[in-house]
Chain A
Amino acid sequence: MSDKLERGLTALKAQIDAPMAAFFSSCVHCGVCAHACLFYTETGDPKYTPIYKLEPMRKVWQQEYTFWGKLAKALGISKPVTDAELSDWEELVYDSCTLCGRCSLVCPVGNDITYMVRKMREGMVAAGHAPEGLKGAMVRAIETGSPMSVTIDTLKAQLKHAEKEAGMPIPLDVEGADYMMLLSSAEIAQFYEIIPAVARIFHAAGVSWTLCSTAFEGTNTGIQIGSSDLAAELIKRIVAGAEKLKVKYVIGPECGHAYTALRWEGPNLIGRPYPFKVLHIVELLDELRTSGRLKTEGLEEDRMTFHDPCQLVRRGGVLEQPRSLLNMVAGDFVEMAEHGRDNWCCGGGGGVSANERADALRLKVFSRKKSQLESLHVTTMVTACSNCRNMLEEGLEENNMDIEVVGLTELLADHLVEAKPSAQGGEQS
């Protein structure tokens, strides 16, 4: 057995716990999970059935942790998992799964298939069977601090623009601030308007905050590719930065999996609870709203809807806050038929957007989002994740749909009620 295959199988063995064993034992091959997965519903190809992604791992469980499975393996009746199998499964585990969580929602026997796929990836990546695009992003994330190789210099350049735009300084490395804000590379490079937006909102709300030069990246390729070791490395940088600056809170950016990585997986990756609390920017904004520190004026006239980022809403637990916030500024809001916890994935999460090989498939399954929008007649779609924004924009363009995609924080900042300009100068909002 090759060294890599051995590493992969050992990793799979190590990942099997009581929930995994309960899930494998309970699956009755009912196939309902397929009907929750946009990769099946939009292609009709049964190989994309979610539980089928787990087949090699199921064999490992059976052969290692059940009596008859071990016996069958010893007698040669059942064959061990091969490298070729893992290679065949790469497309199923990475290209056609965004870890969106809908399958976990519908399984009649209660299998959390998303949990299972996340663990399956640990074995896949250890065996060397992860998409090249993701591997490249992982290397860049570890070596440069960003999967898109966005450096501190790039950030500093963006900060200069942002300070001009906001008419106020953007705090960097301020020790003792309450909140340390993280960003995503996509925001720094593309949707950089979020920086002045956040600065203005925090200023108006009297929030003491800072960015951190050694920990400004919130995204985590490690949990997308499925490597706990590499994911932990990235989390440690954030924790080190937060501990150095002695902040009370770390704020996740408008990004889905960054929230999953930091809020839910992080402490388990580094093996200890944080000395700080974690909030998604949307959570913080809603707290500011409820405490009266976020004031807006005016309503949007455009008919708009909200796309729920999977990792934030269904898998993250931030369900109501986006709507409460939108309620402040949306004059004509309509929900998609399946919304909130039950919304459909943009198709690009879970590492799929970093995987060029999956581009065609990802664009094909956008038809699900398209059909969700068809009867709504909206002109604007609001969301709270930059990756979703990119995926949605691409899909809408591909389908010649004239709908604008807008970030929630920026939308709120557009309606922000601010105090008179301070003595620090700069343009007024």
Chain B
Amino acid sequence: MNEMELLNWARGPGLQIAGSVFVVGVIVRLAGILLLGRKRDLSAARRDGMVPGLRTVVSRSWPDAGTLKRTPLVFVAGYLFHLGFLLTLLFYAPHILMLKGVFGVSWPALPVSLIDVLAVLSIAALVALFINRLIDPVRRHLSGVGDWVSLAVTVLPLVTGYLALNRMLLPYTEMLAWHILSVELLLIVIPFTKLMHTFTFVIARWYNGAIAGRKGVSV
């Protein structure tokens, strides 16, 4: 298979397969969670939980000062990674064109030089988190195969994307093909790992905020 055939496959059947697995997988996981339901709470609520739940979905993104001081790396590197990942994904011009091809909507892009820097910072953050997971006693205690797999499939699109953008390692067409394939690998892996938190964190935060909120506690 030559490089153009690989690229065409990645943009065509590859995306169809990975995209289908991703869509079906995510919906099945979400349905499995939500349909388990929750017993109605018969205690007298101080207030309805809906709004506090929604509030926590947003407010939980900011740690309290004490916790931030006690475990700064996870937050700093975690945010650097997530922001870098999201910004490069959503605001790099060719990505916007790809999303336009899928969803039909587009928006302004960020300068390439900034995207380049964000990609490097994002990769650096993941490397820091990887090392931390190896040497910090709590993280080491918690970590398993799923964590290593998730790290790998998350860093690959960033690394291959950076290499493609900067014309490094492989000729552009081939590098681009591997970049798209690495994204497809990530899509396939998401429904079966902790990477589902991409979608379920909204549900978890909402339940947390609602349960506390109906008692009158803002979390």
Contact = CB atoms under 8 A, between A and B. Distances in A.
Q: What 10 pairs across the A-B complex have the smallest Cβ distances?
A: A110-B205, A317-B216, A267-B42, A317-B215, A46-B141, A110-B204, A31-B138, A22-B203, A21-B33, A35-B70
28 contacts: A17-B36, A17-B37, A18-B36, A18-B203, A18-B207, A22-B204, A22-B207, A25-B33, A25-B194, A30-B139, A31-B138, A31-B142, A35-B71, A49-B142, A66-B32, A106-B63, A108-B201, A109-B201, A109-B205, A111-B208, A112-B204, A112-B211, A263-B43, A268-B41, A268-B42, A314-B217, A316-B217, A317-B217
Given A67-B28, A109-B205, A314-B217, A18 B43 contact: no
Contacts of B139: 29-31
A35 B217 contact: no
B192 interface: yes
B137 interface: yes
B162 interface: no
B197 interface: yes
A257 to B, nearest CB: 14
Nearest to A108: B60
Chain A, interface size category, equals 35 or more
Interface string B129-147: 0000100111111111001
A341 B194 CA distance: 29
B25 to A, nearest CB: 9
B206 A110 contact: yes
A319 B33 CA distance: 33
B215 to A, nearest CB: 4
A36 B219 CA distance: 14
Interface stretch (A198-206, A211-219, A271-279): A271-279
Nearest to B71: A35
A342 interface: yes
Q: Interface residues of B: mostly helix, strand, loop or mixed?
A: helix
A153 interface: no
Interface string B38-54: 11011110100000000
Nearest to A61: B36
A106 B67 contact: yes
Interface of A: 16-23, 25-32, 34-36, 40-41, 44, 46-47, 49, 51-52, 65-68, 104-112, 115, 263-268, 271-274, 277-278, 314-317, 319, 337-338, 341-342
Nearest to A314: B217
Contacts of A30: 74, 78, 139
A18 B215 contact: no
A35 B34 CA distance: 30
Most buried by B among A105, A274, A314: A105
Nearest to A318: B216
A341 B74 contact: no
Contacts of A317: 46, 212, 215-217
Contacts of A338: 66
A338 B141 CA distance: 28
B208 A29 contact: no
Contact of A19 (B38, B63, B218): B38
Interface string B79-96: 000000000000000000
Nearest to A65: B32
A107 B60 CA distance: 8
A51 B142 contact: yes
B56 to A, nearest CB: 6
A195 to B, nearest CB: 27
Contacts of B150: 28
Given A18-B36, A30-B139, A341-B217, 7 more contacts: A16-B36, A17-B37, A32-B75, A46-B137, A66-B29, A108-B63, A109-B60
B159 interface: no
A54 to B, nearest CB: 11
Contact of A23 (B61, B142, B204): B204
